[in-house]
């Protein structure tokens, strides 16, 4: 019901804008106003952009994001330039430029973050955020070049003065800075929930657009190289997620060992857990866990992490399922947490750290001293 309501609202909003743009086009055509004709055509074409991208390239744009894009284009091209609100309302131009830069910033950060997440770019969060900032500034500057070209070659008056152009660039810079800061904190500790949810939805719906075709293959090869390094303080192997290989039945002890390792990584310097690889480094795969499909496995893993470790630590855990040697391996990347992480399992609170290639449980004075030293 909620999905149908949002779909109807989207359709009504976009169709109203389309009718207004068509009316503007017909009015401008009769009065020979070239600038209005051009912007009306551009705005009308933009309303069909999400549909075209979906049909031709299977790129899905969320309904909310689609409405935001169309409303911005309508506000910028029609209400801004055609109706003259830039003159009547001095802040309108600044508001639209900041909105545009924020939208561009989301796109730029999403692309760069995906490359970073897939290990195609190796850099710290500061550099990644700076690159997204530069991307947004570059796109904003390109639009200023377009406006200048239209003014110079076609005699329009989009750029009122050098001050107008500089205010546009400053507004773009401000919006780009907002996304760069949000992006930095998202990568650092997952503190910005709105940004993380937006980016995850975009990436999940558009794998063709955001990921190279050989991403999965390259990641699988990387996993094989990782396995060859052998277990260490920052790397551990587990054969299954929940199944006892001796009984071929689900076993809470197996699940507990997996969660214990993740907790230890979070409380130490981070690390990688590969599930579907035995202690000798052989790829056994997760098929013996007997999940209905890959989505069921991922959902199960997410739920046990939320239940026994805590929802607040989800941003510190990244995981993905990869095909390796005709089997599946779950790769779990754990970042070091900024505060102590306890494993709440079967009504007991347990604290683990990494000690060499294994996880060690701390209690009593050792636990107090470690938390004091590690987390202040």
Task: Answer whether 57's CB lies under 8 Å from 209's CB.
Answer: yes
Average pLDDT over residues 329-341: 92
Give tens-digit pLDDT for 120-154: 566 677 887 888 888 888 888 887 888 788 788 87
What gap in Å lies between CA 15 and CA 48, rounded to an integer?
10
Q: Domains (ranges, CATH) in the chain?
A: 2-206 (no CATH), 217-375 (3.30.950.30)
Give the pLDDT of residue 191: 43
Which residues, at least 6 apart from 255, have a Cβ–Cβ distance to it below 8 Å? 241, 242, 304
H/E stretch holding 250: strand 249-250
What gap in Å lies between CA 54 and CA 49, rounded to an integer?
9
Most confident of 56-70, 251-265, 288-302: 251-265
How many CA atoms within 13 Å lie on the side-chain side of 156?
Answer: 19
Give the pLDDT of residue 220: 75
Question: What does pTM read for this prediction?
Answer: 0.52
Give the pLDDT of residue 31: 74
Residue in this structure with the two tokens 């009015």, named with its chain if needed: 27
Bridging pattern class, strands 249-250 and 243-244: antiparallel
């Amino acid at each position: 019901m909620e999905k149908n309501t949002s779909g109807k609202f989207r359709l009504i909003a976009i169709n109203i804008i389309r009718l207004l743009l068509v009316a503007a086009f017909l009015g401008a055509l009769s009065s020979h106003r070239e600038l209005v004709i051009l912007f009306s055509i551009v705005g009308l074409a933009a309303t069909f952009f999400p549909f075209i991208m979906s049909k031709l390239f299977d790129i899905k744009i969320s309904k909310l994001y689609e409405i935001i894009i169309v409303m911005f284009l309508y506000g910028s091209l029609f209400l801004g330039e055609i109706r003259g609100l830039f003159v009547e309302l001095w802040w309108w131009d600044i508001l639209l430029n900041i909105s545009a830069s924020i939208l561009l910033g989301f796109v730029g950060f999403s692309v760069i973050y995906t490359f970073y997440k897939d290990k195609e770019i190796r850099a710290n969060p500061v550099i990644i955020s700076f690159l997204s900032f530069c991307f947004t500034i570059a796109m904003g500057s390109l639009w200023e070049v377009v406006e200048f070209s239209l003014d110079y070659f076609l005699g329009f008056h989009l750029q009122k003065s050098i001050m107008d152009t500089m205010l546009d660039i400053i507004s773009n810079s401000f919006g780009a800075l907002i996304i760069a800061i949000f992006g930095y904190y998202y990568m650092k500790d997952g503190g910005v929930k709105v940004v993380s949810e937006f980016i995850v939805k975009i990436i999940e719906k558009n794998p063709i657009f955001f990921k190279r075709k050989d991403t999965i293959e390259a990641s699988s090869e990387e996993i094989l190289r990782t396995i060859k390094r052998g277990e260490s303080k920052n790397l551990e192997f587990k054969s299954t997620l929940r199944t006892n290989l001796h009984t071929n039945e689900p076993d809470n002890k197996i699940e507990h060992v997996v969660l214990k390792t993740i907790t230890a990584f979070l409380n130490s310097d981070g690390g990688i857990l590969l599930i579907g690889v035995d202690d000798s480094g052989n790829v056994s795969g997760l098929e013996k866990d007997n999940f209905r499909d890959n989505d069921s496995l991922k959902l199960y893993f997410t739920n046990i992490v939320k239940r026994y470790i805590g929802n607040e630590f989800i941003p510190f855990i990244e995981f993905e399922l990869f095909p390796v040697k005709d089997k599946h391996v779950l790769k779990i990347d754990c970042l070091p947490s900024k505060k102590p992480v306890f494993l709440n399992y079967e009504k007991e609170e347990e604290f683990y750290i990494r000690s060499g290639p294994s996880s060690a449980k701390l209690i009593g004075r050792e636990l107090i001293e470690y938390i004091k030293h590690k987390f202040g």
